[in-house]
Amino acid sequence: MTTAHGYAATSSTAALAPFSFERRAPGPLDVALDVLHCGVCHSDLHTARNEWHNTVYPTMPGHEIVGRVTAVGDLVSKFKVGDLVGVGCMVDSCQHCQPCADGLEQYCDNGFTGTYNGPEQGTGANTYGGYSDHMVVRESFVLKISHDEGALAAVAPLLCAGITTYSPLRQWNVGPGSKVGIVGLGGLGHMGVKIAAAMGAHVVLFTTSAGKREDALRLGAKEVVVSRNPDEMAAHAGSLDFILDTVAAPHDLDAFLALLKLDGTMTLVGAPDRPHPSPNVFSLIMKRRRLAGSLIGGIRQTQEMLDFCARHGIVSDIEAIRMDEINTAYERMLKSDVKYRFVVDMATLKAA
Ligand code: NAP
Ligand code: ZN
């Protein structure tokens, strides 16, 4: 065992504060790493504040992790000391059900182990995430990073925001000729815009923040719609092949379903703490539209996404913060005041 230091919340109303705990010693199949950078996902905030009603306290968020390997177990073959690696939203799964065999660990029949908020396979213990100085992770859940070392902080958000948008875009065959809507320009949304554009799609960004228009065009959108403006929305009625909704708050889905063409699909990845108003059945049946959901992505596909982004020169647009700025960062994220992902420089943890 080693003593780890990080930032955790002890209740739904407590600010995140320094917290120390024990990490297991690396077993034969484990990789130990020092955390260099950790992105700040809206799911971290939902969890710290128990907005999904499943948080085990103390809770230490962080699942957009880039680090450097410090030790490997005897049976580890893919990594060596000094390698740059990534860890995303999962650190384990049962490894014997059909979804796991298919590389869809996020849909493990027995429940995957979250990087934070566990439960650990076998023991049921709580897991502690990337807002910490080091981690020990099973080799099969560690990713290779091939981006330039100078871009590492901006690579961290790919481990959740990147794969959560890449996976549904692939699932629904987005590519050249597709007209794709991305709803919400936050951490997930801005990655969705970049990745869909790199896949060759015509991207339309839907935002509630008129001030994000120029940024959206710079990030790769061909058109920007302020979703509060009914005329701008109506101009796209019945025209989109696919919509990816990343919004972290309940809102009217019918307004977006109306923009899909025949057989179009809208996939929800945003996970608000309260339900959306139920969509109207006629929004779906009149054009055989589909309303779907998607959860992060499997490990194999996460590696595919990282390699795709490295090839296309895609990283996140980030604002680096110190560990002791995390509570302010949460407040700003709630106001959609982040361009477009906070990433904690873990070197600042020692000072904090
Ligand atoms: P984020 O950075 O806070 O971005 C969310 C965006 O939603 C905001 O930037 C804003 O964009 C829009 N928005 C926020 N409040 C809104 C409101 N009241 N009405 C309309 N639009 C609003 O969050 P994120 O980290 O991208 O995460 C987004 C959601 O996805 C969260 O619920 C998170 O938990 C979830 N998530 C799901 C998965 C999955 O596997 N399915 C994985 C990761 C995260 P505009 O200013 O452009 O309108
Ligand atoms: Zn996340």
Task: Tell me the CB-side half-sphere exposure of residue 148, using CA atoms within 13 A.
Answer: 6
| 188 CA → ligand 2 middle, Å | 8
Which one of the ligands is nearest to 293 CA?
1
Last residue of a domain, one of 293, 325, 340: 293
**pLDDT computed for residue 287 by the predictor:** 98
pLDDT tens digits for 136-183?
999 999 999 999 999 999 999 999 999 999 999 999 999 999 999 999
Cα–Cα distance measured from residue 45 to residue 61, given in angstroms and rounded to the nearest whole number:
8
Amino acid present at 263: D
Is 185 in the same domain as 100?
A: no
Is 140 in the same domain as 171?
A: no
CATH number, position 70: 3.90.180.10
Is 340 in the same domain as 205?
A: no
Is 87 in the same domain as 174?
A: no
pLDDT tens digits for 276-295?
999 999 999 999 999 999 99
Is 36 in the same domain as 131?
A: yes
Mean pLDDT of 29-44: 98
pLDDT tens digits for 254-269?
999 999 999 999 999 9
Examine the pLDDT at 350 and tell me if it is beyond 90.
no
- The tokens describing 237, both together, are 């009625």
> Which has the closest alpha carbon to 68: 39, 37, 35?
35
Mean pLDDT of 113-131: 96
Place of tokens 């099973």: 138
Residue-wise DSSP of 17-53: EEEEEEEPPP-TTEEEEEEEEEE--HHHHHHHTTTTS
Q: Is residue 298 part of a domain?
A: no
CATH number, position 281: 3.40.50.720
Decide: 247 in ligand 1 pocket, CB within 6 A: yes
**pLDDT computed for residue 351 by the predictor:** 80
> Which has the closest alpha carbon to 7: 330, 332, 337?
330
Residue-wise DSSP of 186-247: SHHHHHHHHHHHHTT-EEEEEES-GGGHHHHHHHT-SEEEETT-HHHHHTTTT-EEEEEE--
**Strand 17-23 relative to strand 143-144, pairing:** unpaired
**pLDDT computed for residue 153 by the predictor:** 98
Q: Is residue 302 part of a domain?
A: no
**pLDDT computed for residue 106 by the predictor:** 98
Is 90 in the same domain as 144?
A: yes
Q: Is residue 156 part of a domain?
A: yes
pLDDT band at 28 (very low <50, low <70, confident <90, very high): very high
> Which has the closest alpha carbon to 342: 43, 84, 322?
322
Examine the pLDDT at 332 and tell me if it is beyond 90.
yes
Mean pLDDT of 11-38: 98
pLDDT tens digits for 190-248?
999 999 999 999 999 999 999 999 999 999 999 999 999 999 999 999 999 999 999 99
**pLDDT computed for residue 113 by the predictor:** 98
**pLDDT computed for residue 86 by the predictor:** 98
Is 236 in the same domain as 106?
A: no
Q: Is residue 301 part of a domain?
A: no
77-80: Cβ within 8 A, 24+ apart: 77/139, 78/139, 78/142, 78/144, 79/31, 79/139, 79/142, 79/144
86 by Cβ neighbours in 10 Å (0-12 / 13-18 / 19+) ranks as buried
| 334 CA → ligand 1 middle, Å | 9
Q: Which residue owns the Cα nearest ligand 1 atom 4?
A: 186
Decide: 224 in ligand 1 pocket, CB within 6 A: no
| Average pLDDT for the chain | 97
Range of the domain at 268: 162-293
Decide: 295 in ligand 1 pocket, CB within 6 A: yes
Place of tokens 């080799």: 139
Decide: 62 in ligand 1 pocket, CB within 6 A: no
pLDDT band at 76 (very low <50, low <70, confident <90, very high): very high
Decide: 336 in ligand 1 pocket, CB within 6 A: yes
Is 147 in the same domain as 191?
A: no
Go through 137-161 and write b for each residue having 16 or more CB atoms within 10 A of its CB, e for each that does not: bbbbbbbebebeeebbbbbbbbbbb
Q: Distance of CA 279 to CAs 253, 287, 293, 335, 352, Å?
A: 6, 14, 14, 26, 46
Cα–Cα distance measured from residue 156 to residue 246, given in angstroms and rounded to the nearest whole number:
19
| 238 CA → ligand 2 middle, Å | 31
Is 206 in the same domain as 285?
A: yes
- The residues placing their C-beta within 5 Å of ligand 2, an ion, are 41, 43, 160
Q: Is residue 41 part of a domain?
A: yes
Examine the pLDDT at 352 and tell me if it is beyond 90.
no
Q: Is residue 308 part of a domain?
A: no
- The DSSP output letter for 7 is E
Give 281's contacts (C-beta < 8 A, 6+ positions apart): none
If one counts the domains in the chain, the total is 2
| 234 CA → ligand 2 middle, Å | 32
Task: Tell me the CB-side half-sphere exposure of residue 226, using CA atoms within 13 A.
Answer: 9
Cα–Cα distance measured from residue 42 to residue 45, given in angstroms and rounded to the nearest whole number:
5
Is 96 in the same domain as 29?
A: yes
Q: Is residue 310 part of a domain?
A: no
Is 153 in the same domain as 226?
A: no
Decide: 227 in ligand 1 pocket, CB within 6 A: no
Is 168 in the same domain as 264?
A: yes
Q: Is residue 306 part of a domain?
A: no
